[in-house]
Amino acid sequence: MGSIFSRLYPYKQTESKSNLENYLIEIFSFCLQNDDTFRNNFLSKFDLKDSVDIKIIPQRIYEGFGRPDIEIILPSAAILIECKVESKERQNQLNDYANILKIKSKKRKILVYLTKYCETKQIQHDDIEFLNNKWYDIYELIDEHCNSFSQQLKNFLTENRIAMDNNFTTLDIVSLENISGTIAKMDEVIDSISDYFSAIFGAMSKTSSRSTRLKDGGYYAYKHFGEPLKFSIDIGFTWWYDDNLIYLTVELWIPLKDNEKDEIMTIFKTNLGDWKENPFDDCVTIGNYKTVNEIVAKGQEQLPAMTSFLKKGIDRLAKLKDRNPEIFQ
């Protein structure tokens, strides 16, 4: 099983977005393994009882189906848990995990989709019990009888605003009062380079598509390349890093669906070696980033400074397109 410290060690001193989720998965599974009260509270959600034969396995790989975040095996049931904080379900992820459960020789087969915000999902498998849950539901399972590890998990969920309840706070109300003005300012920055970008790469996404990215920690326009999708260029604002900063972003997003991406990745890495690479479970991003705080602190005219930064990133990609036009088709 290993100590919690050994299990978390691979995630030290890295900046990948997915590490918060991996970090949380290891803590959550460790608490389920080592806190009888917490484990029983969790199993009672499914009218199940603990067993000396229980197995709790984090991030087990199933070739061809993926890597469920947590697997719980009981004599009468198999449970797979997919944990999300800010990231979204990859294509067919939940159905892949349902197919893993279908091969289990257990009376009950349960799939749990655990998210920060309420997300209503459905799967097309009549023999699989499916549950949408929020991290706030896990938070509420940790009572005064749970051990110190689980209490620390509870603190972690609140400190990082992962366990979100449904009640509005004063801060929420203030944020709502200012949100339209903030979005208008971000629109002004993105629109200021839209024609410049479109003249080189073609039209960007519709303005309405930007707001759909807000819950994933970003507000940006994008351009897809390839059918099926090879990669996209994202330009705008992101704040999905764990450092609570807002970044101006010129970024390539490359899904990792098959080995055909190897050539594209080589070209991008060779020509954009000074840009930051972020590997995730199902994609890689390569981007140039600048904190909004850095521009504000310098007392610059903000719109020209932001526009200049984004245009420099677009120019780098334009040169790459001139040398490798085939991958931008």
Whether 259 shows a pLDDT value over 60: the answer reads no
Confidence class for position 17, pLDDT limits 50, 70, 90: very low
Whether 173 shows a pLDDT value over 90: the answer reads no
- The pLDDT, as a whole number, for residue 261 is 61
Taking the C-alpha atoms of residue 317 and residue 250, their distance in angstroms, rounded to an integer, is 9
Whether 18 shows a pLDDT value over 80: the answer reads no
Taking the C-alpha atoms of residue 25 and residue 69, their distance in angstroms, rounded to an integer, is 7
For the chain, the helix, strand and coil percentages under 3-state DSSP, each to the nearest 5: 45, 20, 35
281 is in which domain, residue-wise? 170-328
For 73-128, the pLDDT digits (tens) are 999 999 999 998 877 777 788 999 999 999 999 999 999 999 988 777 888 888 89
CATH of the domain at 18: 3.40.91
- The pLDDT, as a whole number, for residue 16 is 47
165 within domain boundaries: no
251 token code pair: 């970024």
Kindly state whether residues 175 and 324 are assigned to the same domain: yes
Kindly state whether residues 85 and 208 are assigned to the same domain: no
Taking the C-alpha atoms of residue 269 and residue 66, their distance in angstroms, rounded to an integer, is 26
Question: For 297-309, what is the mean pLDDT?
Answer: 90
Kindly state whether residues 197 and 323 are assigned to the same domain: yes
For 270-283, the pLDDT digits (tens) are 999 899 998 876 78
Point out the least confidently predicted range of 6-20, 38-52, 205-219, 246-260.
6-20
The DSSP-derived string for 90-136 is PTTHHHHHHHHHHTS--SEEEEEEEESS------S-TTSEEEEEEHH
Helix axes 148-159 and 19-34, enclosed angle (nearest 10):
150
* DSSP letter, residue 12: T
Total count of domains within the chain = 2
How far does CA 2 lie from the centroid of its chain?
26
Question: For 244-271, what is the mean pLDDT?
Answer: 83
Higher pLDDT, 169 or 328: 328
Cβ atoms of 148 and 38 within 8 Å: the answer is no
Kindly state whether residues 285 and 312 are assigned to the same domain: yes
164 within domain boundaries: no
Kindly state whether residues 143 and 230 are assigned to the same domain: no
Instruction: Name the 3-class secondary structure at 309.
Output: helix
- Helix (H) and strand (E) counts in the chain: 10, 10
Whether 318 shows a pLDDT value over 50: the answer reads yes
pLDDT over 70 for what percent of the chain?
A: 92
